[in-house]
A and B are shown apart, each in its own frame.
Chain A
Amino acid sequence: MTMETVAFYSYKGGVGRTLLVANTAQFLAMSGRRVVALDLDLEAPGLHHKLGSLDRPMRGGAVDELLSALEGEQRTVSLRETAIEISMPVGCDGSLFLIPAGSAPSPAYWASLERLNHVLRSHRRNGGLPEAVLELQARIAEEFDPQFLLIDSRTGITELGGLATSLLADRVVCLTTTSPESVEGIRVVAEALRAAPRLASQKPLRLDFLVTRVEERSMTPAGVLGVLDELGGPITVLPHDSGIANEEQVWLRSRPIRSADPNDVGMVLFAATLRWIASSFPAFGPLARSAERRMRAVHHSLQQLRGSSLLPYPSGWPNRQLRERVLFGRADNSRQADIVAYDSNARPLMIVEYVGNREEFDAAARWWFSQTQIPVVALLGDELLSMLYSCTDAQGLSVRLSERWDLPLPRDFEALADPADASVGSLLDAVRRGYPEYLERIVDGWAVGVTPVAPGIVDELAGLDDIELARRALRACVSDTSDRVVAGLFAPLFWRLSPEASIQVAQKGGRSVGAVSKTVALLAQDTLGLRYDTGTPISFEISTASPPPSPASNGLLGDYQPEPGRVVLYSEAVSQCADRLALRARHVGSVTLIHETLRALAHVGLDLDGRTWPQSELAAADARLFETLVQYFTYRHLVGLRDPNLLRAFEAMLEEGHPGRRAWERIRDLSIEDARSWLLSLRRGAGPTPPPQPCDDAPPGEG
Chain B
Amino acid sequence: MTNTASFATTEDELDTLVSIAIRRAEILDDEGSPAADEAWHEVSAYEQRLAAITAPSEIAGGVARVGAVRAALAAGHRAEAESLASKYLAETQLPAERRAAMERVFQEDRDRRARHFPAIAKSGRLAELAGWRAAAAAQNSRVFPMSEAA
Chain A residues with CB under 8 Å of B51's CB are none
Contact assessment for A135 and B120 in the assembled complex, using a CB-CB cutoff below 8 Å: yes
> How big is the A interface, by class?
35 or more
Q: Report A243 CB to chain B, min CB distance, Å.
A: 35
Distance between Cα atoms of A196 and B146 in the complex (Å): 13
Assess A129 versus B146: contact at CB under 8 Å? Given A69-B117, A199-B132, A200-B128.
yes
> How big is the B interface, by class?
35 or more
Assess A72 versus B120: contact at CB under 8 Å? Given A128-B147, A162-B145, A199-B129.
no
Instruction: Please count the residue pairs between chain A and chain B whose beta carbons lie under 8 angstroms apart in the complex.
Output: 118
Q: Report B130 CB to chain A, min CB distance, Å.
A: 10
B104: interface (CB < 8 Å): no
Distance between Cα atoms of A120 and B77 in the complex (Å): 13
Contact assessment for A118 and B34 in the assembled complex, using a CB-CB cutoff below 8 Å: yes
Assess A158 versus B136: contact at CB under 8 Å? Given A72-B115, A201-B124.
no
Q: Report B79 CB to chain A, min CB distance, Å.
A: 11
A114: interface (CB < 8 Å): no
Contact assessment for A131 and B131 in the assembled complex, using a CB-CB cutoff below 8 Å: no
Contact assessment for B144 and A166 in the assembled complex, using a CB-CB cutoff below 8 Å: yes
Contact assessment for A200 and B131 in the assembled complex, using a CB-CB cutoff below 8 Å: yes
Chain A residues with CB under 8 Å of B113's CB are 126-127, 131
Chain B residues with CB under 8 Å of A131's CB are 113, 116-117, 120, 126, 129
Contact assessment for A130 and B141 in the assembled complex, using a CB-CB cutoff below 8 Å: no
Q: Which of A187-195, A369-377, A672-680 contacts B (4 or more CB under 8 A)?
A: A187-195
Contact assessment for A159 and B112 in the assembled complex, using a CB-CB cutoff below 8 Å: no
B143: interface (CB < 8 Å): yes
Contact assessment for A126 and B120 in the assembled complex, using a CB-CB cutoff below 8 Å: no
Can you list, as one digit per residue, whether each of B111-123 has a CB less than 8 Å from chain A (1) or not (0)?
Answer: 0110111111011
CB-nearest residue of chain A to B115? A72
Chain B residues with CB under 8 Å of A161's CB are 144
Name the residue among B32, B76, B119 with the largest chain A CB count within 10 angstroms. B119
Contact assessment for B143 and A192 in the assembled complex, using a CB-CB cutoff below 8 Å: yes
CB-nearest residue of chain A to B136? A197
Contact assessment for B119 and A195 in the assembled complex, using a CB-CB cutoff below 8 Å: no
B47: interface (CB < 8 Å): no
Distance between Cα atoms of A200 and B129 in the complex (Å): 9
Chain A residues with CB under 8 Å of B77's CB are 124
Q: Please provide the chain A residues from 42 to 89 with a CB less than 8 Å away from any CB of chain B in the complex.
A: 69-70, 72
Distance between Cα atoms of A453 and B75 in the complex (Å): 85
Q: Please provide the chain B residues from 36 to 54 with a CB less than 8 Å away from any CB of chain A in the complex.
A: 36-37, 40
Q: Report B94 CB to chain A, min CB distance, Å.
A: 25
A594: interface (CB < 8 Å): no
Assess A121 versus B147: contact at CB under 8 Å? Given A131-B126, A131-B129, A201-B128.
yes
Q: Please provide the chain A residues from 124 to 157 with a CB less than 8 Å away from any CB of chain B in the complex.
A: 124-132, 134-135, 138-139, 141-142, 157
Contact assessment for A197 and B139 in the assembled complex, using a CB-CB cutoff below 8 Å: yes
Distance between Cα atoms of A388 and B90 in the complex (Å): 84
A225: interface (CB < 8 Å): no
Q: Which of B112, B123, B131 contacts A126 (CB 8 A)?
A: B112
A400: interface (CB < 8 Å): no
Assess A134 versus B125: contact at CB under 8 Å? Given A142-B119, A161-B144, A199-B132.
yes
Distance between Cα atoms of A125 and B110 in the complex (Å): 11
Contact assessment for B120 and A162 in the assembled complex, using a CB-CB cutoff below 8 Å: no
Q: Please provide the chain B residues from 17 to 48 with a CB less than 8 Å away from any CB of chain A in the complex.
A: 32-37, 40
B74: interface (CB < 8 Å): yes
A268: interface (CB < 8 Å): no
B73: interface (CB < 8 Å): yes
B87: interface (CB < 8 Å): no
Distance between Cα atoms of A201 and B129 in the complex (Å): 11
Distance between Cα atoms of A354 and B144 in the complex (Å): 46
Assess A125 versus B115: contact at CB under 8 Å? Given A161-B144, A201-B124, A201-B128.
no
A404: interface (CB < 8 Å): no
Can you list, as one digit per residue, whether each of A105-122 has a CB less than 8 Å from chain B (1) or not (0)?
Answer: 000000000000010111
Name the residue among A72, A124, A157, A197 with the largest chain B CB count within 10 angstroms. A124
A384: interface (CB < 8 Å): no
Chain A residues with CB under 8 Å of B122's CB are 138
Assess A197 versus B135: contact at CB under 8 Å? Given A72-B116, A122-B33, A132-B117.
yes
Chain B residues with CB under 8 Å of A142's CB are 119
Chain B residues with CB under 8 Å of A583's CB are none
* 24 CB < 8 A contacts A-B: A69-B116, A72-B115, A121-B37, A121-B147, A124-B147, A125-B73, A126-B116, A128-B76, A130-B133, A135-B118, A139-B119, A157-B143, A157-B145, A161-B144, A166-B144, A192-B141, A192-B142, A192-B144, A195-B141, A196-B136, A196-B144, A199-B131, A200-B131, A201-B124
Binding site for A on B (CB under 8 A): 32-37, 40, 73-77, 112-113, 115-120, 122-126, 128-129, 131-133, 135-136, 139, 141-148
- Other than the given A142-B119, A165-B144, A200-B128, 8 more pairs (CB < 8 A) read A128-B146, A128-B147, A129-B146, A131-B116, A131-B117, A138-B120, A192-B143, A195-B141
